[in-house]
Amino acid sequence: MAWFDLGDVRWVGVLIASLAAFLVGFAWFHERALGTAWARFAGVDVAEQRDGQSRRLIVGFIVTVITVVFMNVLMAELLVTSVVGGAMFGAAIGLVMRLLNHVFHDAFENRPGALTLINGGHDVLALAAAGAVLGAFL
């Protein structure tokens, strides 16, 4: 195996894993879950947020797919080939690479800790879901 070999990418798995991560985000940020609290802590007007939502969803999905492709390559290289292993790998990536970045940036931007936890918690769960799906395909 060569490093960053796209031949190791399971494209159907990437698509399903990306959709799984997106579904986690939909449920996590739904107004009946944490969406209302997120908007309050982020200082976002929910009505204004709906304008341009399609563009943000498209950009978000593209970013998710790129992230999941990279996870697929890393998982294949590290021989993470189970659902549980994939979920743990995804959660670790979410915790170390994403949540800690939220902590770092939000501290400098003086953002509420609750916002950091909402955004970082989403990343941990979404990448755990993506990793579990990828683990099933590897």
Distance between CA 50 and CA 138 in Å, rounded?
37
Residues with Cβ within 8 Å of 40's Cβ and at least 6 positions away in sequence, in order, are: none
C-beta separation of 130 from 90 below 8 A: yes
User: With 80 as the cut, is the pLDDT of residue 90 above it?
Assistant: yes
Q: Mean per-residue pLDDT for 51-67?
A: 92
pLDDT tens for residues 7-21? 889 999 999 999 999
Mean pLDDT over residues 61-72, rounded? Answer: 97
